[in-house]
Amino acid sequence: MSGRARLSFSEKAPGDAALMQRYLGRLGAHVGADVYDAPSLPTLRALMTRHLQTVPFENLDIVNGIRPPLITAGVLDKIVNRRRGGFCYELNEAFGALLKHLGFTVRRIDARVWLEQQQKFGAPFDHLALIVSLAEGEFLVDVGFGDNNRAPMRLPQDTLTDVSGTYSLTQAEGQAWLLARSGRPLYEMFLEDQPLSAFEPMYRYHQTSPESIFAKGLICTKATPSGRITLSRDRLVVVDGAERTEIQVSNGARVLSEYFGIVVNS
């Protein structure tokens, strides 16, 4: 799916077709004559890569004291119409809605982020990730972690190496599964399908608690084909292969617009 990707919508899929066309347009994928007959792993992989390189992980609403509700229509409006990014609950919920509209079978799952300083996993529903079911099997898909694997990972276990590291997906104790990078845990997950409402308390926590990592300062980051661009408070970090450039910035709004396509007053 190089160049302009051409996809078709399922006639019976939920969602607004015009909105989803704009979503695909933001990702550089356009409905056209070369139609995919059914959802496929190559299509999923390409859409995930495009999403990670187009829609940033960011917490602007949180640092600005904006507390929108966690609803599918709201996150789609934010990402598609306002051309913003978001954090896990928003990004993965929106991407899941797009995939469902394209005919994929998707479910939300509860994940719990590894807290390095405390040497433990976070609270239940600390992170929202997706499982996509295909003819080839079930795959972990996550466009809302900030820096993680850039392609779907197959259950029950998988390994993947990309420009951001080497990842492993394995079954842990009990009903838990573990995503790790270079042997260090990123998060544990539980594969049962969850309603969006189950994530609401932790979504509110991360919006409002001074203990939340998202309350510590501005973060905006997105993948690039060869690395990553990150604005962290007043520091812009550009990683391009083995090269790393760090710059102190005085005009965050200009950086958000130039590097991430985000207009602050949108």
Per residue in 107-165, pLDDT (tens digit) is 999 999 999 999 999 999 999 999 999 999 999 999 999 999 999 999 999 999 999 99
Report pLDDT for 10: 46
Position 221: which residue type? T
The CA-atom distances, in angstroms, between 19 and each of 24, 36, 120, 260 are: 9, 20, 40, 21
In-domain check, residue 87:
yes
Do 236 and 191 lie in a common domain?
no
pLDDT score, position 34: 42
- Note whether 217 and 194 are same-domain residues: no
Segment 31-76, tens digit of pLDDT? 543 444 568 999 999 999 999 999 999 999 999 999 999 999 999 9
Contacts (Cβ under 8 Å, ≥6 apart) of 248: 234, 235, 236
Do 188 and 222 reside in the same domain of the chain?
Answer: no
Q: Are 223 and 53 in contact (CB under 8 A)?
A: yes
Residue given tokens 């005085």 in the structure block: 250
Whether 247 and 156 map to the same domain: the answer is: no
Closest CA to 99 of 203, 24, 3: 24
| Whole-number pLDDT of residue 177 | 97
Structurally, how many domains does the chain consist of? 2
Residue 206, domain member (yes or no)? no
| Cis bond upstream, residue 156 (ω within 30) | yes
| 51 and 144 fall within a common domain | yes
Exposed (0-12), middle (13-18) or buried (19+): which is 224, by Cβ within 10 Å? middle
Give the C-alpha distances (Å, rounded to integers) separating 152 from 52, 127, 141, 215.
Answer: 12, 17, 5, 29
In a domain, 205, yes or no: no
pLDDT tens by residue, 167-188: 999 999 889 999 999 999 999 9
* 102 and 138 both lie in a single domain: yes
| 212: DSSP letter | S
Q: What are phi and psi of 259, to 5 degrees?
A: -95, -25
Residues 66 and 180 in one domain: yes
Can you give the pTM of this predicted structure?
A: 0.92
Classify residue 13: in a domain, yes or no.
Answer: yes
| CATH code, 136 | 3.30.2140.20
97 and 170 in one domain?
yes
- Tell me the β-bridge partners of 160: 167
Average pLDDT over residues 194-221: 95
Let me know: does 141 contact 125? Beta carbons within 8 Å. no
pLDDT in tens, 84-123: 999 999 999 999 999 999 999 999 999 999 999 999 999 9
Do 120 and 252 sit in the same domain of this protein?
no
State the Cα–Cα distance between residues 187 and 177, nearest whole angstrom.
8
Residue 197 has pLDDT above 90, yes or no: yes
43 with 175, same domain: the answer is yes
Is 218 contained in some domain?
yes
Strands 105-115 and 158-162: unpaired
Whether residue 204 is contained in a domain is answered as: no
Query: Residue 16 has what pLDDT?
Result: 86
Q: Which of 156, 177, 199 is the last residue of a domain?
A: 199
Which candidate, 60, 63, 96, places its Cα nearest to that of 220? 60
Q: Which of 199, 225, 250 is the last residue of a domain?
A: 199
Tell me the C-alpha distance between 232 and 211, whole Å: 18
Q: How many CB atoms lie within 10 A of CB 248?
A: 8
Assigned domain for 266 exists? no
> 229 and 131 share a domain?
no
Q: Which residue has the higher pLDDT, 247 or 13?
A: 247
Residue 223 lies in domain: 213-260
Contact 208, 67 (CB under 8 A): yes
| Residue 249 maps to a domain | yes
Same domain for 114 and 170? yes
